[in-house]
Amino acid sequence: RDDTAREGGNERRRCYAGGRNTKEKMAHYRISDKGESIDAFRGNGDLFEPLAIDPESIVLAHPGQLLVSTEGDDDTTPLSDPEIMRFNPVGRQTDEIPVPDKFLYTVDDGNHVRDNLGFESLTVSPNGHVLYAATENALVNDGPISTLTNGSPARFIQYKLSRQLPHHEYIY
């Protein structure tokens, strides 16, 4: 979605990008038309733990509301489950959208997301009411990991943003 700021009769567009600063071992995402980097903070004001999140996708849900997805990483301590987080434009996490158990590493039934293959992409419907989150690869029970010669099913979750709960799920 377009986030256009109007100042003095002029329009300025903002560009949102996400990333992880591995040199300084802290999470950053970039915001603004000038490209300055600001730190991402948990809701309590603390910086994210070193390498605690692996941001993959960022989307403007509504003006002033950014959603960021992470793939998760089961090699970290503590374990980093895939997440969908809501941030305000100054980098403070304001909310987390619930993720069904099968998309977490901590599920005991054998069906869970694979390491670093969680939520690769997010998009919001043009009216801003629906969020779609997609995995990068198959869950463990959905089939093998994709290769250059064999595909793999991916899952899409549809959320109604007004409720922040999964509404539908699709396997593609």
User: Which DSSP state fits 3?
Assistant: -
pLDDT at 30: 47
pLDDT of residue 18: 58
Residue 141 pLDDT: 85
Mean residue pLDDT of the chain comes to 77
Element of type H or E holding 130: strand 130-135
Task: Identify which has the larger pLDDT, 65 or 159.
Answer: 159
pLDDT of 166 over the 70 cut: yes
pLDDT at position 26 is 46
Token pair of 125 as six digits: 């419907």
Q: What is the pLDDT of residue 148?
A: 93
112 token code pair:
């869970």
pLDDT greater than 80 at residue 92: yes
List own/partner pairs for 120-123 with CB under 8 A and 24 or more apart. 120/56, 120/57, 120/69, 120/71, 121/56, 121/57, 121/69, 122/57, 122/58, 122/59, 122/67, 122/68, 122/69, 122/84, 123/59
Round to whole Å and give the CA distance between 160 and 163: 6
Mean of pLDDT values over 51-65: 78
pLDDT score recorded for residue 31: 45
Mean pLDDT in residue range 146-166: 91
Q: How far apart are CA 62 and CA 162, in angstroms?
A: 12
pLDDT in tens, 24-41: 444 554 444 455 556 677
Predicted TM-score (pTM) of the model is: 0.78
Does residue 62 carry a pLDDT above 70?
A: yes
